[in-house]
Structure formats: C-alpha cells, structure tokens
Amino acid sequence: MLKKSQTYFLFALVMSIGIYSCSVQKLIPESEVLYTGADLKTVSDTNIRNIKKVNEELSLILRPKPNTKFLGMRLGLYYHYKAQKENPGFINKWMNKKFGEEPVYLSDVDPLRVETLMRNRLDNRGFFYSKVTSEIDSTSKYASIDYTASLARPYLLEKFKLDSDSLPIYDDIKTTLSNTEIKEGNRFDLELMKFERERIDEQLKRKGYYNFNSDFLIFEADTNQYDNKRFDLFLRLKKDTPKKAIVPYVIDSITVFPKYSIESDTIRPKATSVNGINFVQDDEFFKPERLEPYILFEKGQKYNPETARLTSNRLSSIGSYKYVNIRFTERDSITADSISRLSADIYLSPLTKRSIRTELQAVTKSNGFTGPGIAVTYSNRNLFRGGETLSITGSFAYETQISGGDNRGLSSIAGGLSTRLTIPRLVPFSPSRFKYAVPKTNIGLGAEILNRSQLYTLTSFNTSFGYTWNANRFVYHELNPISISYVNLFDTTEEFEEILDENPALRNSFEQQFIAGLNYTFTYNELVDENKDLPIFLSTSFDIAGNALNLLSGGQEEIFGLEYAQYVKADIDFRYYFKFGREQALVTRLYAGIGVPYGNSNTLPFVKQFFAGGPYSVRAFRIRSLGPGRFTSENDGTTSFFDQSGNLRLEGNLEYRFPIFSYLKGALFADAGNVWLTYDPEVSEDESEEGIAFNERLRTEGKFGKDWAKELGIGVGFGLRVDIQSFVIRLDLASPLQTPFLPEGQRTRIPFFDGGSNNLVLNFAIGYPF
C-alpha cells in the first residue's frame, strides 16, 4: 500500500504529464511557425578584452523574445490558444486573462533589422566594419535564428586631451578628469563618452554651475594620425555655449515657509531670521531654531544640487511634512567677479496634525499562533513645534495555535496599550548635521496582558530610550542605552505548574521578571539598490542586561523586591543574493546567535531564548520542535513549545527563487539548523525527581559538543508565493532529510517518502523567510 507522501508525489507526476501532454504544437495555425528564440555566436581574429560584456550587450538586441517556458511547457501560450476556441470555458478564459501570452511567430522577427542594430552597437563600441549574419533553423512548426557576429579589430585610444582655454570653467573640468574612466589603451566607446559627459556635468553643478548642461560638451575623435587603428580623443565646450552656463552661482538668500499652502501663497507675514535663514509663517507652526539645523546649505555657499537633495530628504524624514519643494531662482545678471546669484525658497506643506488609524489584522506568528486582531493608533505630529510625533496605540487580538505539535488548539487573548514619542534629533545632545538622514530619538512606554488558555496569564510592562539613524543609503544603526521590561506570571494552571516542576530551567526563566539593559543593532543592506546583481545583507545585534541593576543593588539578587536577569546575548545574520535572469535569485543565509547567563542568572529569560523550526527557520520541522541538540519532548508528552529552547543557535539556508506567472513565484529550498545549550542546567537541593531527571536529559542530549553537525535538523522543500508589490503570502511544503532526535543511524531519511505522517510539513506565512 502506498504511503501518503508517495500518493501525493504520484498525483503531482500524473498532473504534470497531463499538462505537458497538452502540447501547443497542434494549436499553431497552419500558416505560422512558432519562434523559439535566437542563439548568438561571436568570432574574432584578435584577443578582445571583456568579450563577455560585448556578448551580453548584443544578446539584449535579440528581439522579439520568444514565449516563456516553465519546466519545458509554454503554459501562457497554451491558455491563449485555448481561450480562442468557440467555447473556451471559464477556466481557460480566466487562465488566459491572468497568465496568457500572445504567440510570437517567425513572421514577427526581422533578422535584417537585428543585424543592423548589432552592427550599430559594435560601431559604438569601437568595432568598426564588423559583420553580422543570420541563419534560420526551422522545422514545420518551430523555428529559431542563429546570429554570427564577426568582430573587426577594435580602435584603441592613443591620447586623451582637454582643449585649453582661458575660461575658469576649464580648470574645473580638468579637475574632474582626474577621476575619468577614459584611459589610454581603451576601446572606442560611445556609451563611455556619454557617461563621462554626464559625470562632468554632475561634478560641475556641485561646484556651482547652475545652468550647465552635459550637451554643452563635445568629444572629437581623430584617426588621421595613425594607420594601425589608433585614435586621439579631444574634449571641449561647444562654441555656442551660453555665457550663463560657464559661471558658478552663489546662494544669496534662503527663505523657508514652514506652513505653506497654495491659499497662503500671496500672504507674506513678517519673517524671523536664524543664522541668515528667513522663516516666514503667520503663526509659529514650527520653531525656526529647531528647523534651521535640517538645512544643509548656507547663504554665501556655491549652488550644489546634492546638498539640496540631502536637505529635501532630511526635511521629509522629520515626519511632519507631506511635500518638500526647494526652488532656486536667478537673482540678477553676471557680476564683475564672474559669479551670479540665486535665491533659495523652501516650501513645506504639513501633514494633518492629528490622525487616527484603525487596522484590522490577520496575524501569523513564528510560534504557530494565528488569528484576527485590531489596532487603533492616534498620532499627533509636530507636538512641541519641533517635529516631534506622539503615537498611542491600543490593540486587541485573539489567536489560536494551528501548529506546534502537542500545543495545537491552545488559544490566547492579548490586549495592550503603548505610546511612542519620536523626536527628529539626538536628545539631549546639541543639534547635529548628519548629512544623509535625520537621527531620531525614540522614547517608548507600553503595557500588555496575555491570557493563554489552559496555561497562564502574563502581564508585561516595558520602556525604552534610544536612537536610530541611517549613516548612508545602506547602513542603519539602532542603539537603546535604556531598555527595561517587567514580566509578571500569574494565574497559572495545574497543567502549567506541572510543566514548570518538570523543567526547573523553564521555571527559572519565568522567575527572572525584571530585565534592564542596553541593546544595539547594526544593519548593512544592499537590497535597497535594485541594480545590484550580488547584494548582501548583514545584521548583527548585541544585548546586555543586569549590570547596572547589580551595581545599584550592591550585588543582591533582587532590586525593588524583584529578581532581575543578567546575561549577554549577540547574533549575526548574513545573506548573499545572487540575482540572474528574469526575477531569479539564489539566496544563501547564515545565522548564529548565543546568549550567556551570568551573575544573578543561571538561564536566559524565556523571551530571550533561541528556538528552531517553523516558517522562518528550518521549515521541515514544526515551530519550536527542534533541539536543544538531539533532545525532544514528543516521546514523553511534555509541551515542546516551552521545553525546546537553547542559548546557542546555528542555522543555514539556501533558496532558489524564480517567477512562474505574473504575481505567482516559486522556490526550491534547503534548510539546516538547531539550538543547543552551552552550560549545564543547575539543580537545586529541593528539586523533584522529575526535575532532576529532566535536567539530566537536557545535559546529555541538549549540550553543544563536537558532534553538533550530526544534530542539525536538515530539510528540503518547495514553495509558492503570491508577491503583490512586496506584500507576500507564502506556502512552503518541506520534508526532513536529517532528524536529530532519532537514534543515531536512523536520522537520515529520503525526503517526501520516509517518515510516515511526519514527512510533510506545510508552512503558511506572510513575507519571505529571509
């Protein structure tokens, strides 16, 4: 009798064969031949540098693109043909609307035009007088085209010179050429010349040349001096360049309108001046001395569009304005000192001062709890007329655990109230002119109550004080020098008390109610640059608690009658993305984290411990069902949700992502990881026999050792994702390859076949796993 997983596999195989049997060949009209694509071959008599880049550029010219294929099938084309039938049916019509593709026939291809475009591209890259030919490879229903590009010997640069002239702008152009990419020995490259003109234009504008334009520059090539395919290159200004384009501009006045609207455009109240900047507002909407530090340019400075752009970003990031518009206006004609002047006007349109936002939520968490929720947020912007934003949020949620082994069916009711004050500057430090973005001071205070059925009620209070800032486009910092939380566990059930009695370390983790310390997070994220083919993501955090309380208490275990936790914790998350093709990526991830209790603590607080398994971890294992080490609670019927944690976590992931149709994406993945203990659980003198036995199991099965690789949970799987403008609904089906809690010698299995009812794990989640 077939196992359940084998039945699924055979069903999927039969369906795949059925779809594949629906070939498009019999649907192609008699008078047409389907175009299947083109191949390109480049040949040359000489050794050409960067030939790979030349091939890539020529490949981009191959048009049109053939119909897309998935696993050898042209499903988009198939459903298009089916929808053209007299009675296509609802499914075929719907599939065509969502995924259908118009057919691309050989008659749609113009090989002669493609040949011409390739020759033009080769001319632009210095391969003058190259030849391009094409040949059609055809059957009765399918055809492809083979292109051959015979590259001529390229023209190489002998000398690059800037024309000399007495105009001061030539000195500034000469300075910018110290960083030029045009070097002697380079191939003739028209695109590089265009890029160089744009680069020089950008640099000149940063030096104050407000009216300059890249079109005022011209390159001239001279091949008459050589007979061996060498050329000289000259750069100069065009003769008809207007005079106002070759002089720098200085900012003569700066006026800011902190509460601008179209209706008030004609009203000019009295201005207030701070450090040479005029602030015009009918009443004091924003304090001028608070707004002035966000403006990076000053009176008397040369015009610089980069400074203006950064100023606009800073003003927008305050959080009080919906529109920021900076206008520069020429004040007068060119003066005797060959400098002209600009006035800078900054128009700031405020957001609505007060707002209420209601969110209906559908939440799925890493611990398997899923359910509806509601959150209501009140915001008051520019609270103290310095850009401060006060947010007060009340929330309520009901959740039930739909996965998690023995804990399935648990429910919880949670409610909370939190407030957050965001100040767009560093408090209590003096105003700082961070160029890239505005640093922010965050003050938070909150309370929450959680009632988990059959187990306990938990109240928690937290407060924090810290800073966030972007050092540049990729680097983000978060520092909280004050982070305090207090947790009170009460109304525990007999079932939960039995769990605590059997697991002394768990009881200790809940008894440490007071956590006060410092935490810091550093993030480097190249994913913000969509043009990067090999972006990386790195995030690392550091968390230390209890030292200040230990000093205040004089080394006592309690302060204010509360037992406090002492520990240090750190982790690192590194990801490497290899992007290729159309929306395809191979993503690798390595994660490592460790927390060490010391002093007043012999275990980490429960909320600070590491867990493994689930939709954002090793997906072939249910939430929090891995570890520590080869330990498992499934055999003795205890509650794995609480037992299976550790103070060390290691994890690695590999995922190949690819498009299927439109918003539907696919993935193939492999995960490996686990959690361990690095210390021996302590046993008190009055510990029960059950507690002693439990700790002994943790000591022998859960401690990190030289055989840690044999204790990794390893799984593979595939997934489907609906990705609509970065909102992702994810389904991942995974199966274990190595199960660490099985006896040694029986841990390895064949995914999707071995393991009985536990060989398939379906994960539903929001967002990508990493």
439 against 366, higher pLDDT: 439
pLDDT digits (tens, 9 = 90+) for 687-716: 677 767 777 888 888 899 999 999 999 999
pLDDT digits (tens, 9 = 90+) for 563-597: 899 999 999 999 999 998 778 899 999 999 999 99
Q: Quick check: do 156-246 and 574-770 share a fold?
A: no
Q: What is the pLDDT of residue 510?
A: 73
Distance of CA 330 to the CA centre of its chain: 41
**Cα–Cα separations (whole angstroms), residue 430 to 273, 286, 289, 433, 469:** 20, 18, 12, 10, 16
- Greatest mean pLDDT among 395-399, 460-464, 630-634 lies in 460-464
Q: What is the pLDDT of residue 264?
A: 61
Confidence of residue 106 (pLDDT cuts 50, 70, 90): very high
The token duo for 79 is 């459903």
Phi, psi values for residue 212, rounded to 5°: -75, 155
Check residue 154 and report its DSSP letter: P
Report the range of poorest mean pLDDT among 358-367, 401-410, 451-460.
401-410
Q: CA-CA distance, 567 to 180, in Å (whole number)?
A: 53
CATH number of 156-246: 3.10.20.310
Q: What is the pLDDT of residue 122?
A: 95
How many helices and strands in the chain, by DSSP H and E?
14, 29
Of 404, 383, 402, 380, nearest to 393 by C-alpha is 380
Of 254, 352, 366, nearest to 300 by C-alpha is 254
pLDDT digits (tens, 9 = 90+) for 109-125: 999 999 999 999 999 99
**Cα–Cα separations (whole angstroms), residue 196 to 181, 275, 436:** 8, 38, 26
Q: Classify domain 574-770 at the CATH topology level.
A: Porin (2.40.160)
Q: What is the pLDDT of residue 635?
A: 53
Confidence of residue 444 (pLDDT cuts 50, 70, 90): very high
Confidence of residue 364 (pLDDT cuts 50, 70, 90): low
Residue partners of 637: CB distance under 8 A and separation at least 6: 406
Phi, psi values for residue 365, rounded to 5°: -110, 165
Confidence of residue 17 (pLDDT cuts 50, 70, 90): very low
Residue partners of 214: CB distance under 8 A and separation at least 6: 197, 198, 200, 201
Residue partners of 661: CB distance under 8 A and separation at least 6: 70, 75, 76, 98, 99
SS3 26: helix
pLDDT digits (tens, 9 = 90+) for 410-430: 788 989 999 999 999 999 887
Q: In the chain, where are the structural domains located?
A: 4-151, 156-246, 249-350, 574-770
Q: Are 709 and 592 in contact (CB under 8 A)?
A: no
Where on the phi/psi map is residue 500: left (φ > 0), alpha (ψ -120 to 50), or beta?
alpha
- Greatest mean pLDDT among 176-185, 334-343, 426-435 lies in 176-185
Of 361, 634, 643, nearest to 500 by C-alpha is 643
Q: CA-CA distance, 448 to 374, in Å (whole number)?
A: 14
- First-to-last alpha carbon distance for the chain, in angstroms, is 39
361 against 628, higher pLDDT: 628
Confidence of residue 349 (pLDDT cuts 50, 70, 90): very high
Check residue 298 and report its DSSP letter: -
CATH number of 249-350: 3.10.20.310
Confidence of residue 491 (pLDDT cuts 50, 70, 90): confident
Q: What is the pLDDT of residue 11?
A: 43
Q: What is the pLDDT of residue 328?
A: 96
The token duo for 424 is 């767009």
Q: CA-CA distance, 690 to 503, in Å (whole number)?
A: 8
Q: What is the pLDDT of residue 18?
A: 44
Q: What is the pLDDT of residue 367?
A: 52
406 against 305, higher pLDDT: 305
CATH number of 4-151: 3.10.20.310
Strand order in the sheet with 131-138: 34-44, 142-151, 131-138
